[in-house]
């Protein structure tokens, strides 16, 4: 199975999940984007490395890199190899003394470690075809993030209880976000039919 190389194109705060971020990866030789929802800590760890910031004390991912380097372990690549029920699975491909070892990891942690080792990120066609979003060449990132947020909201709404939906509806109306309120109302109506 051929691997498809990805690059990080952005991090965006998720409007639908408190404390969550959308990590957006882009196909290097194509127009597809792969949005992955990650936690705030992992988003911070990725952003700090991408922005070349130096924390006063090593973060967990920095500690991992220091540990691996001390024992002459090199992370060669990150592979996002599976997608099950909206959850991405990744592994770190490591090398030590010409021995290659694969280590299972959360995708967000794998990428946070991968950026520290400056290694490439890959996935497979099956994952890009099921979770990737095709952009035409004139699309702007802002439009992409808005589309991603709307898709995330749709997926989140169907997992909420009716009481939670009512609370979200009240909040959306209070914020005058009538588009979201309409989607919540539609979800509530769908369940009561």
pLDDT score of 56 more than 70: yes
Query: Is 145 inside a domain boundary?
Result: no
Q: What residue numbers bound the domain in which 167 lies?
A: 160-192
Q: Identify the band that residue 7 occupies on the pLDDT scale cut at 50, 70 and 90.
A: very high
Kindly state whether residues 130 and 164 are assigned to the same domain.
no
Q: Do 124 and 187 sit in the same domain of this protein?
A: no
Global pTM value: 0.69
What was the pLDDT predicted at 103? 97
**Position 66 in a domain:** yes
Indicate whether 101 and 60 sit together in one domain.
yes
Whether 147 is covered by a domain: the verdict is no
Across residues 46-72, what is the average pLDDT? 91
Same domain? 114 vs 47: yes
Are 116 and 187 members of one domain?
no
Helix or strand holding residue 36 (H, E)? strand 32-39
CA–CA separation, 51 vs 46, rounded Å? Answer: 9
CA distance 111 to 8: 9
Strands of the 3-13 sheet, one edge to the other? 99-106, 87-96, 74-84, 121-124, 3-13, 20-27, 32-39, 133-134
| β-pair partners for 20 | 39
Give per-residue pLDDT as tens, 146-173. 544 444 455 467 777 888 778 887 887 7
152 in a structural domain:
no
pLDDT above 90 for 75: yes
pLDDT at 148: 46
Cβ-based neighbour number of residue 124 at 10 Å: 16
Min mean pLDDT across 17-31, 54-68, 123-137, 146-160 is at 146-160
- Does the pLDDT of residue 32 top 60, yes or no? yes
- The verdict on 115 and 165 lying in the same domain is no
> What is the overall mean pLDDT for the chain?
84
How many domains does the chain contain in total?
A: 2
Same domain, 33 and 107: yes
In a domain, 46, yes or no: yes
Whether 184 and 118 map to the same domain: the answer is no
Tell me the two tokens of residue 82: 């599976």
């Amino acid at each position: 199975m051929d691997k498809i190389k990805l690059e990080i194109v952005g991090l965006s705060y998720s409007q639908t999940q408190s404390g969550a971020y959308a990590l957006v990866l882009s196909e290097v030789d194509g127009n597809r984007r792969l949005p992955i929802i990650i936690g705030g800590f992992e988003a911070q760890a990725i952003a700090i490395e991408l922005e070349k910031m130096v924390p006063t004390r090593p973060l967990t991912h920095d500690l991992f890199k220091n540990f691996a380097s001390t024992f002459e372990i090199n992370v060669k690549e990150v592979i996002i190899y599976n997608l099950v029920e909206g959850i991405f699975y990744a592994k770190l491909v490591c090398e030590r003394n010409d021995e290659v070892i694969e280590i299972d990891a959360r995708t967000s942690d794998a990428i946070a470690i991968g950026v520290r080792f400056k290694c490439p990120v890959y996935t497979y066609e099956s994952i890009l075809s099921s979770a990737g979003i095709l952009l035409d060449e004139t699309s702007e990132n802002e439009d992409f993030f808005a589309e991603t947020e709307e898709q995330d909201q749709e997926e989140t709404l169907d997992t909420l209880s009716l009481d939670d939906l009512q609370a979200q509806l009240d909040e959306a109306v209070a914020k005058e976000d009538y588009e979201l309120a309409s989607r919540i109302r539609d979800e509530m109506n769908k369940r009561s039919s």
